[in-house]
Amino acid sequence: MATQLKNLSDFSEAEIPSAAPFRFGIVVAEWNAAITNALYQGAHKSLLEHGALAENIVTYAVPGSFELTSGADLLLKKGKLDAIICLGCVIQGETRHFDFICNAVANGLTNVAVKYSKPVIFGVLTTDTQQQAVDRAGGKHGNKGVEGAVTAIKMAYLAETLNG
């Protein structure tokens, strides 16, 4: 979580293993496209900077954050991927829709991760305002896409280490 004390893009490089041996899927919501594209650019660039091969990164778009769960499930069912990064943005509105979508996506992605025993990373901004989303998609609080990529690398490494 971004705060005044923590930037989403601030990681110690010494703590991040190489992404070279791993295959990654990125599922990006099209809703709030300006924000989700910035998240995607941060995630993709970060994977490459940490050694991932471009041909080992597959990207698929889904209509909205709610569909991230299905997208992650379909990718893990279809391909040999080590981790999935799910990127979306849900901004609070006037109705309870925000609560239902955020809860469904968080639970859905957790269930997919457990189903496949693979890391499925929650890279979804759940903000009160558009400005908060901008601030977390490459703005003053960093980029949650970068955080998602680093988390995916670390979790893929953990899974490989534990599974031998």
Neighbours of 150 (CB within 10 A): 23
Residue 50 annotated to the active site = no
Tokens linked to 91: 């901004």
Amino acid found at 128: D
Of 58, 49, 48, residue with least CA distance to 24:
58
CA angle 69, 131, 31 (to 5 degrees): 30
Look-up: residue for tokens 């709030």? 32
CA distance 77 to 139: 35
**Can you count the helices (H) and strands (E) in the chain?**
5, 6
- Please list the active-site residues: 97
